[in-house]
Amino acid sequence: DGESMQKLITQLKPHRLILVRGTKENTEALASHVKQWTDAKVFTPSKGDMVDATSETHIYQIRLTDAMVSSMKMQKAKETEVAWLDAVATLRSKAPDTVQTEEMDVDDETSGIGERLLSLEPIPLTEVNPHDSVFINELKLSDLKQILTKHGIDSEFSGGVLWCCNRTIAVKRQESRKVSLEGWISDNYYKVRDILYNRYAIV
């Protein structure tokens, strides 16, 4: 019913929502509820209408030059690979000296001008500003505990903290979703840290 639908949508917190196959009155009522309780962009198309529900407002097609690709240090993140780029976008002619396989979809309005296309060129190392390391993954302390056990490291949960090596090392998950590692500096500390780092793609 309508009340159950409202609760379900509120719990899902969608970014885009398309409402179809309802009466005009019910559709407008549900759309009004969703707009009031979520930040979703709501579409109520009529039969045969086309809806553009893309989440990105600016999509560009960019090619990576050979120099850019060779400078990238790829890190595996689950089923994909990621890398940190320090680059500048320039307009170049659509010449065959750029890597053809590294492309992103584009709206016609934002593509290259005429026979030119945006290309990413690496910034010289002397001009690159250092950046903080980015850790990519959703770590579960329960999974980390199993991995530590496989490496012969004893650990136990207490008060939401994963204690290791006779409670000399603590792995904590903060409210900000950050993970902290605390403990005595020792061989075991560095071993736990290495195992923890291996759970992330670091760029």
Find out whether 16 and 53 touch, Cβ atoms under 8 Å.
yes
Q: 171, 169, 174, 158: which is closest to 199 by C-alpha? A: 171
Q: Which residues lie across from 187 on neighbouring strands?
A: none
**Does residue 156 or residue 62 have the better pLDDT?**
156
For the record, the structure tokens of 153 come out as: 């490291």
Rounded to an integer, what distance in angstroms lies between the CA atom of residue 17 and that of residue 40?
A: 7
Domain positions in the chain are 2-43, 62-127, 135-202
Mean residue pLDDT across the chain: 81
Rounded to an integer, what distance in angstroms lies between the CA atom of residue 56 and that of residue 184?
A: 46
Please give the model's pTM, rounded to 2 decimal places. Answer: 0.49
Q: 188, 141, 199: which is closest to 166 by C-alpha? A: 188
Query: What pLDDT score does 121 carry?
Result: 86
Locus of tokens 């307009």: 91
Q: How far is CA 184 from CA 50, 141, 155, in A?
A: 61, 20, 15
CATH architecture observed for domain 135-202: 2-Layer Sandwich (3.30)
- Taking only the tens place, the pLDDT of each residue in 143-187 is 899 999 999 999 999 888 999 999 999 999 877 678 889 998 999
Query: What pLDDT score does 57 carry?
Result: 62
